[in-house]
């Protein structure tokens, strides 16, 4: 088996000796990603398209290879400089239109761009940081502090009760949108402890039989979502009123508006629907 068949994306730090004409460029203006639209499909601009605007790019990084194709990321301050060649669209908005692999490379790219912007100077002595050769890191030339891109672990959990799933409306969601419970891991806390705490804090119930589901990077802003399933144990739903405005139990045939299947939240809900439809749940 070839290496590229085992890992669809092979990360790298050092720039290749030669830049491929087929290379993909993940160019950002703030949280907006540059895309070309063809037949209602969003595509990442290639090296040939970006070359015309190379002098307008800053914070250029090499990401690695996506199925053998070189990938780069950069930032562009003036989104209007590209004219009609491509559009800058908010990454979260365009996410459903991107191929999953493209979205996850985009997620990697924007986190690196943001890390570069937010860590220009040493947090200990204030000196200008320099890129560390051979790895994705910055090093302070004065005090030696090494800084790596920030990754914030968070749990996301599908809580089931027989043939029902717990879905909640967060105050930051658009009207009518419901999802599973999620939250950031505290220092010194295990993922399983975080699942119990977040569910209790946000909706006031206890859970049991916590099982790992899968994980997903989530660049809003720099999360690593670690998914779990859990079963209802005890308690009555009581939304905290701070993050969660409403929460209820739903059956597979009576779901409200839910997140895209590209997201791990959508995958957890899909798992619940398939699990409920394919076997008896007691």
Chain segment 38-55, per-residue pLDDT in tens: 776 789 999 888 888 888
Number of separate domains in the chain = 2
Which range is least confidently modeled, 97-101, 197-201, 246-250?
Answer: 97-101
Beta bridge partners of 89: 33
150 and 123 Cβ atoms separated by less than 8 Å: no
Q: Which residue among 63, 97, 118 closes a domain?
A: 118
In this structure, the answer to whether residues 89 and 180 fall within a common structural domain is no
Tell me what pLDDT residue 84 has: 73
In this structure, the answer to whether residues 61 and 171 fall within a common structural domain is no
Mean model confidence pLDDT for the chain:
92
In this structure, the answer to whether residues 158 and 274 fall within a common structural domain is yes
Q: Is residue 114 part of a domain?
A: yes
In this structure, the answer to whether residues 159 and 104 fall within a common structural domain is no
Q: Which residue among 92, 118, 144 closes a domain?
A: 118
Q: Is residue 175 part of a domain?
A: yes
Q: Is residue 134 part of a domain?
A: no
Confidence class of residue 269 from pLDDT cuts 50, 70 and 90?
A: very high
CA distances from 252 to 102, 248, 255, 258, 274 (A): 30, 13, 6, 12, 9
In this structure, the answer to whether residues 59 and 101 fall within a common structural domain is yes
In this structure, the answer to whether residues 62 and 112 fall within a common structural domain is yes
In this structure, the answer to whether residues 272 and 196 fall within a common structural domain is yes
- Cα–Cα distance for residue pair 252/240, rounded to 1 Å: 25
Q: Is residue 145 part of a domain?
A: no
Residue 282 has pLDDT above 60, yes or no: no
Q: Is 156 helix (H, G, I), strand (E, B) or coil?
A: strand
CATH of the domain at 102: 3.90.79
Residue 281 has pLDDT above 50, yes or no: no
Listed in order, strand segments (DSSP E) in the chain are: 9-11, 24-29, 32-38, 41-43, 57-66, 69-76, 87-90, 130-131, 138-139, 146-147, 152-161, 164-170, 181-184, 206-218, 223-234, 244-251
Q: Is residue 183 part of a domain?
A: yes
- Cα–Cα distance for residue pair 62/196, rounded to 1 Å: 39
Q: Is residue 126 part of a domain?
A: no
In this structure, the answer to whether residues 196 and 270 fall within a common structural domain is yes
pTM of the predicted model as reported, rounded to 2 decimal places = 0.88
In this structure, the answer to whether residues 90 and 168 fall within a common structural domain is no
In this structure, the answer to whether residues 92 and 162 fall within a common structural domain is no
- Provide the residue range defining the domain that includes 92: 3-118
**How deeply is 232 buried, as exposed, middle or buried, from its count of CB atoms within 10 A (0-12, 13-18, 19+)?**
buried
Q: Which residue among 118, 139, 164 closes a domain?
A: 118
In tens, the pLDDT along 170-206 reads: 999 999 999 999 999 999 999 999 999 999 999 999 9
In this structure, the answer to whether residues 193 and 98 fall within a common structural domain is no
Q: Is residue 137 part of a domain?
A: no
CATH of the domain at 228: 3.90.79.10
List of residues 6+ apart from 244 with CB closer than 8 A? 168, 169, 170, 171, 202, 203
Q: Is residue 140 part of a domain?
A: no
203 phi-psi bin (left φ>0, alpha ψ -120 to 50, beta other): alpha
129 and 138 Cβ atoms separated by less than 8 Å: yes
In this structure, the answer to whether residues 87 and 24 fall within a common structural domain is yes
Residue 229 has pLDDT above 50, yes or no: yes
Paired sense of beta strands 152-161 and 164-170, if any: antiparallel
Averaged pLDDT, 67-93: 87
């Amino acid at each position: 088996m070839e290496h590229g068949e085992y890992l669809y994306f092979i990360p790298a730090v050092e720039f290749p000796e030669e830049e491929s004409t087929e290379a993909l460029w993940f160019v950002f203006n703030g949280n907006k990603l540059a895309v070309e639209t063809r037949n209602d499909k969003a595509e990442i601009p290639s090296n040939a398209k970006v070359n015309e605007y190379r002098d307008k790019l800053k914070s250029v990084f090499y990401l690695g290879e996506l199925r053998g194709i070189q990938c780069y990321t950069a930032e562009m301050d003036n989104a209007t400089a590209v004219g009609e060649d491509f559009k800058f669209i908010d990454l979260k908005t365009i996410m459903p239109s991107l191929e999953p692999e493209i979205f996850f490379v985009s997620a990697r790219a924007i986190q690196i761009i943001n890390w570069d912007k937010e860590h220009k100077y040493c947090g200990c002595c204030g000196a200008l940081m320099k890129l560390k050769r051979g790895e994705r890191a910055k090093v302070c030339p004065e005090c030696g502090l090494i800084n790596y891109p920030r990754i914030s672990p968070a749990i996301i959990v599908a809580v089931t009760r027989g043939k029902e799933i717990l879905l909640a409306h967060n105050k930051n969601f658009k009207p009518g949108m419901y999802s599973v419970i999620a939250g950031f891991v505290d220092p010194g806390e295990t993922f399983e402890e975080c699942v119990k705490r977040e569910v209790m804090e946000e909706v006031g119930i206890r859970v049991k039989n916590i099982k790992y589901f899968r994980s997903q990077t989530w660049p809003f802003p720099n999360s690593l979502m670690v998914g779990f399933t859990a079963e209802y144990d005890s308690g009555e739903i009581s939304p905290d009123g701070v993050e969660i405005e409403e929460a209820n139990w739903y059956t597979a045939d009576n779901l409200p508006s839910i997140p895209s299947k590209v997201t791990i939240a959508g995958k957890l809900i899909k798992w619940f629907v398939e699990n409920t439809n394919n076997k008896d749940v007691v």
